[in-house]
A and B are shown apart, each in its own frame.
Chain A
Amino acid sequence: MPEDTINLIRENVIQGRITKDDEGMDEGMVGQPGVTELVEQALAEGLSIQDVITEGLSGGMDIVGQKFEAGEYFIPDMLASAEAVGAAMEMLQPRLAKSGIKTKGTVLVATVKDDLHDIGKNIVSILLRGAGYVVKDLGNNIDTQVIVDAVREEKPQFLGLSALLTSTMARMGEIIQALEENGLRHQVKVIIGGAPVSE
């Protein structure tokens, strides 16, 4: 039943299962299809990509968010679900343009020059992919000019900058300044993150 497949996708997003080998939250799920297998099944059944995304993937993440808010889920649970959605979105990516479905946008992320700490950036990337964004990760210890060039070429809606150290957090300001100087600041929203800029 097509509806069953959508429901199963949603349920497996909640369980945080990418493939049939994943355990999930409940007992006895190993061996049953995970989100990626179910998305393949949905496509084979001719279900609309729109329904797969909105009812299955996003629907599941909405419930995950509610569970997190209620204290029932922790960050690792939410990440597992987001990874499952991210994997499904990667599978669906080639079909999105054809079907006219737009993503929520592109986010370019990077850890700034002289800073190798990328845990936060990586976690945020997983969550953004799970929420339906296309994430382009430049990596860590990235030169300001490389970031400016990437903004010019990729034209992302958002730029996510990360720094863990108090000695490197000022780089984020320098990058914003460089975007201004290159006439790019108006076309991208900048999000900064990392322990020294968090309250």
Chain B
Amino acid sequence: MARQGILVDRPYERLTGEQVQLIHQSSMDILRDPGLISFNKEAVEVLDGHGAVIESVAGDHRSWKVSLPEQVVVEALKSAPRTVKLGARNPDNTVVMHGDEPKVYLITGSETNIWLDVDFPTYVHKSDPAREIKVPEFKPRRGTVEDLCQSARVCEHLEMVDGFIRNVNIQDRDITEQNKDVNKYFASLNNNTKHFMSGLTSLDQLDNVVRMAELIAGGEKALEDNPIISFITCLVKSPLQLVQDTTDTFIAVCRRGLPVAVSSSPQAGTTAPIKEAGIMAQINAEVLAGITLGQLVKPGTPVLYGSVPVRARMDTLNDSYGAIETSQYNIDCVQMARFYGIPNYSTSGVCDSKIPGQQSSVERLFSDIVVAMAGPQYLHCAFGLLDCNSVFCLLQAVLDDAHFRMIEFLLRQPRIDQAEMEVVLKQIRTVAATPQKLYINYIRPVLRSGELSGIYPFEGSGEADQVFELAHERMQELLAMPVEHIDRETTARIFEEVPGILPRLNVYEREN
């Protein structure tokens, strides 16, 4: 069994076939001229050996101009798998993505520095003290490893979440550059049985992280068959630069054959042209460059076409995920990935709003609905994220889950066929002959079949808006629900073989 995903039978596409070809050809032109600047020597060596034209920049031997002929890219793309499997501790949570199938899996979000606590203090009306109202108050603080555990636990129980990307940057005093990776992987894997994706803070920790995954999966071969972890690497810094450290990580992950998202995040207006044609040609070139490198390092490496395009805000030049164009770019990228037949990592739901509220709901739903309609396979839909990926709020994640349930319903296929039509024609004729002319009696057979959408789950009583209060109650329920931790024996082996994991994360030691 694997997770079902949401099949978008007729995906929304903005680009014509001619526009797709034009973007593709322009990307090929870009990769040839001006090509890329690589700050990573190993990447240069790999590309040099497969037909790229290399030229040292200013003779400093620290950066190189790389011109990629179209044929190199086209050949490399042939070995990129069209189907990518993302395993999970619980096999029922496995995600299998086909590049040509617009089936959407919903994944949580990026690493945020700030954790937003929620409280509901009571306010009393000045002129009428008998009138009280509860108003949500949001308090930001730095994220901790315990927050990441809580987030993983809640996301385990959020039904619409298909996979977990670590969403809290752990900043405890005893977390260092060296132990951050093992702690974030362990905290996430131990509290969530869905697929886990993350970036690496330190390449030195790759062996430890992979060893941890092997112990959980049941060995090296078992991890290969059931890759419970995957990686995301932003090896291309826009515009068109292969950076040293993340390219090192990317190459190392490819050599291990574990799934990896090749992500590029150009900002239209600053690190990419403000025009749609420009950012599309560039991001496509950047992602294809990464995929090409990965396939040349190890043909058949399972890769995701990772697109995180965004438009710049004109008042600050920061990212504006709430900008409508950001959704348009993402929809275009889904179509480009499908053109190549490679599963797509896309982005939605990231918002400019700093706290949960009307702005966050509008911004998130605007992109969640339309990008999901495009049919990306791996939709990083930023559960709980606010303020352009810098803040995480569990309350928002609970709201997002409810909203995605509605989107899932929206994307259901029409149930119209001959048999169904015959049934309803009979109903119409029957009711037309009755004095009351009501179809209500025919509701009951479908009332509890899942065929009807539900009312908004956080609707309050009367005129009061109780969305936050009710979502908060749901959040508390989810936090109280147990999760299936890694078993005692495996936990002991992990703590024995993988250095640096904080003892307080060992649930069995805490029991003692």
Contact = CB atoms under 8 A, between A and B. Distances in A.
A23 B444 contact: yes
A11 B436 CA distance: 26
Interface of B: 436, 438, 440-441, 443-445, 447
A76 B447 contact: yes
Nearest to A75: B440
A16 interface: yes
B447 A74 contact: yes
Contacts of A123: 438, 440
B438 A122 contact: yes
B395 to A, nearest CB: 23
A74 B455 CA distance: 12
Contacts of B443: 76
Interface residues of A, number: 14
Contacts of B438: 119, 122-123
A80 interface: yes
Contact of B447 (A77, A83, A122, A126): A77
Nearest to A23: B445
A79 interface: yes
Contacts of A79: 440-441
B436 A122 contact: yes
A85 to B, nearest CB: 15
A175 B494 CA distance: 82
Interface of A: 16, 23, 25, 74-77, 79-80, 83, 119, 122-123, 126
B446 to A, nearest CB: 10
Decide if the interface of chain B is mainly helix, strand, loop or mixed. helix
A79 B436 CA distance: 13
Contacts, number: 24
A83 B447 CA distance: 18
6 contacts: A23-B444, A74-B447, A77-B447, A80-B441, A123-B440, A126-B436
B436 A16 contact: no
A26 to B, nearest CB: 11
B444 A80 contact: yes
A124 to B, nearest CB: 11
Q: For A25, A76, A79, A80, which residue has the most chain B Cβ atoms within 10 angstroms?
A: A76
Contacts of A25: 444
A79 B440 CA distance: 8
A182 B402 CA distance: 57
B436 A76 contact: no
A77 B444 contact: yes
Contacts of A23: 444-445
Contact of B444 (A76, A119, A122): A76
The 4 nearest A-B residue pairs measured at CB: A76-B443, A122-B436, A76-B440, A76-B444
A94 to B, nearest CB: 22
Nearest to B445: A23
Contacts of B445: 23
A14 to B, nearest CB: 13
Nearest to A121: B436
A42 B334 CA distance: 67
Contacts of B441: 76, 79-80, 83
A109 to B, nearest CB: 12
Contacts of A122: 436, 438
Contacts of B444: 16, 23, 25, 76-77, 80
Contacts of B440: 75-76, 79, 123
A73 B443 CA distance: 13
B220 to A, nearest CB: 49
Nearest to B439: A76
B461 to A, nearest CB: 11
A122 B437 CA distance: 9
A109 B323 CA distance: 55
Contacts of B447: 74, 76-77
Q: For B441, B444, B445, B447, which residue has the most chain A Cβ atoms within 10 angstroms?
A: B444
A53 B443 CA distance: 27
Contacts of A126: 436
